[in-house]
Structure 1
Amino acid sequence: MLRKITTKLLLVLSLSLFSINFASAQEGHEAHPENHEATAHEEEKFDIGQMIMHHIADSHEWEFAHGLTLPLPVILYTKQYGLEVFSSKRFAEGNGVYNGYINNHEHIHRLNPQGGLDEEVHVWDLSITKNVASMLLSAVILIVLMSTVAKSFAKNRGKAPKGIQSFIEPIIFFIRDEVVIPNVGPKYEKYLPYLLTLFFFILVNNLLGLIPGGANLTGNITITLFLAVITFIITHINANKHYWLHLVKPEGVPVAMLPLMWVVEIAGVFMKPMSLTIRLFANITAGHIIILSLLGLIFIFKSFAVGGVVTLFTLFMNAIELLVAFLQAFIFTLLSSMYIGSAIEEHHEADHGH
């Protein structure tokens, strides 16, 4: 664990030092009068907001660092032209245009013969984007990791855990004993596989997002919404009659107040997945924006002093984000367990004043 944290901090430090060196090179470039106009042009082009959005948003190519980009498959389907597959490198070579398509801020449209957008052609974008590639990578990591732990557990049954098992097994037991069992109750075994998968999926993607050049998967509201919807569906498919009766006719509520309570209860039902969605999305995205904003200060001020201070703050923020990565995975799993537990418990103690 300590070695992983140290490695991550060194990566951030390397990125910061690279940024400082780049800024210094820009300052040295200013010393030559013949390059003054080009330098001024570069200063004009730098936009910290655009830089931040470029790094946290999804894209059709995976840029690990400036000049180091991995092209990804672009998969498009239209009713008129059928299925078309090509590399995102084609868009880069054609300034965003290739084979009658234009990539306009990561939204792909079909062009008409006049060069304008063809509104009659609806493009279904099924591409392997940066977030999709990161999600597939995290799935492979989880499959390999958990398969290794399972084999190690079977091999060392009744013995002290070894290797990666000694790190993962306590986390699994902690989530089971301290999160799932107390909140879901005696029927926890049915939901444990989902909740453990949920925790480790969020955790792994949170950590991958902290690596320089990593994708902001859990900072994508579509992903967090999908995870919340799965919890919502599992909760209400397995909900018992006590849960539904509580929504329709809460105990102790006068009949005249029932219409108002229906509105409150229905709003509460849909606010739960929304709270899961926004909490994870906002916390992960905010952390990335803060770190990128700090690094952007190096390019704005172009000073060794500022670079040194920014490096220290970035290291501190990255350590905080490392904690947040675990905390947000824990909170999402905890709340999901509570929502499922409240829907399947046999008696609502709160209705009886306990």
Structure 2
Amino acid sequence: MMRRLFNRFFVVTSLFLSSFGLATAQEHTLDGQETHQEQKEKFNVGEMIMHHIRDDRGWEFAHGVTLPLPVILYTADRGLEVFSSSHLNHGEVYNNYKSEHGHLYRVNEAGEPLKDVKVYDFSITKNVASLMLSAILLILIFRSVASGYAKNKGKAPKGLQSFLEPIVMFVRDEIAKPNLGPQYEKYLPYLLTLFFFILINNLLGLLPGGANLTGNIAVTLVLAVITFFVVNLNGNKHYWAHLVKPTGVPVALLPIMIPVEIVGVFMKPFSLMVRLFANITAGHIIILSLISLIFIANNLGGSATGWGISLIVAPFTIFMNLIELLVAFLQAFIFTLLTSMYIGSAIEDHHEADHGIGYEGPEAH
């Protein structure tokens, strides 16, 4: 039975791909151009997916339900200007401003951008609003937990405190202590902030209408850059000496290994940035692609076909959402774990521990 469902699923997918290729090949011909253009306007998979995973000036919770966000601009001749993003919907021009591909321009009467006018954009976009929301939630949650510890001092934790305490203990005992050693308390607040910030934004992104904040490479870049500075500003003499004279490397190989070690300093935050961005974005794209099959089948074979495909797609979508729920925790854990490892390698007194060379613990010394 399951095999038969898989076969039907792939048949429909193949039909869609072949139909899409045929429509693309005939798009520039005169015969049938209007028909194919009309079908393309009915449902565009790529446009739908990009609309949901990219940043926007309004926060769309459902089709037709959009929360306008403030547009904040500064120009030398006009100064500070604030207005609603609803004035810029559908490429409209408002107060001589127009939004094209996410960028705002001052335009002339003919609608052409004025290149000599520099527009500084400080607008609150969907990702910025989601960032503020997650920050407020984190502050409220942990203020509640802190007050719980103050009231229940010496007693068993209750409510939200009892739910979050095992997670905090896990980060401390399984991430910070093993990788940072005796200095773990200094970096534990940063690791906890990093873990819960990534986790709560991953979870918010799974909600209907949620923003794809941790799937935005600018956000993951900032997180990686902060980790880069924390690592390198706290690196001791052994860490910096290791870059120019790696332990156990013959002198003849130093011209090769030194550039490799220096590149590695920048590749570590780069890997953090790309890993989080790619995993979160890929999950959203897969789920949206599965949902798109329903509308594609509806366009190809009518509403009956769309309903039939939905019976197959729905279980897959639910399964992928459960996987994404696991990924939300896993990516927060991996980012925090690797960050603690990078910090630990920078503050470690005996760098031989990184390579397992001549390090048997403090009692051996």
State the TM bucket, normalised to the shorter chain.
0.7 to 0.9
Of 152-161 and 45-54, more deviation after overlay is shown by 152-161
The code of the aligned residue for 2:46 comes to: G
1:56 is displaced (CA, Å) by 0.3
**Which of these residues, 133, 154, 157, is aligned with residue 137 of structure 1?**
133
1:222-278, Cα deviation, whole Å (9 max, x unpaired): 000100100110011111000000001123333343222221011111000000000
Q: Deviations over 1:145-188 (max 9, x none)?
A: 00101111121122111111111010000100011110111101
1:318 is matched with which residue? Answer: 321
Tell me the percent identity.
66
The 10-residue stretch of structure 1 (155-164 or 235-244) with the greater mean CA deviation from structure 2:
155-164
Equivalent AA in structure 2 for residue 52 of structure 1: I
Q: Does 1:306 align with 2:309?
A: yes
Aligned to 2:105, what secondary structure does the other structure show? strand
| Structure 1 residue aligned with 2:338 | 335
**In structure 2, distance between residues paired with 1:121 and 1:136:** 30
Deviations 1:59-112 (A, max 9, x none): 0000000110000000112223322111001112x7432111111121111113
Aligned to 1:85: 82
Shift of 1:38: 11
SS of equivalent residue, structure 2 residue 340: helix
Decide whether aligned partners of structure 1 residues 40 and 248 sit closer, same or farther in structure 2, where only a CA change above 3 A counts: closer
Q: Which moved more, 1:296-305 or 1:280-289?
A: 296-305
Query: Is it true that 1:238 corresponds to 2:243 in the alignment?
Result: no
- The 2-side partners of 1:96 and 1:333 are apart by 43
Task: Name the counterpart of 2:42.
Answer: 45
User: 1: distance between equivalents of 2:287 and 2:201?
Assistant: 17
Does residue 1:58 correspond to 2:55, yes or no? yes
Unaligned runs of 5+ in 1: 1-36
Q: 2:347 aligns to what?
A: 344
Task: Name the residue aligned to 2:72.
Answer: 75
For structure 2, the 5+ residue unaligned runs are 1-33, 299-305, 360-365
Paired residues of 1:251 and 1:351 also in contact (CA < 8 A): no
**Could you tell which deviates more after superposition, 301-310 or 169-178?**
301-310
State the distance in 2 between where 1:114 and 1:138 align: 42
SS at match of 1:86: strand
2:246–2:258 contact (8 Å) kept in structure 1: no
Q: Distance in 1 between matches of 2:127 and 2:85?
A: 14
Q: TM (normalized to structure 2)?
A: 0.84
Q: Work out whether residues 96 and 104 of structure 1, in 8 Å CA contact, stay in contact via their aligned partners in 2.
A: no
Letter in 1 for 2:138: L
The letter for the 1-side match of 2:74 is: Y
User: What is the CA RMSD across the aligned residues, in angstroms?
Assistant: 1.8
- Counterpart CA distance in 1 for 2:346 and 2:262 is 14
- Number of aligned positions between the proteins: 317
Residue 211 of structure 1 aligns to which amino acid in structure 2? L
Residue in structure 2 matching 1:215, options 211, 227, 230: 211
The whole-number CA distance in structure 2 between the counterparts of 1:249 and 1:345 is: 16
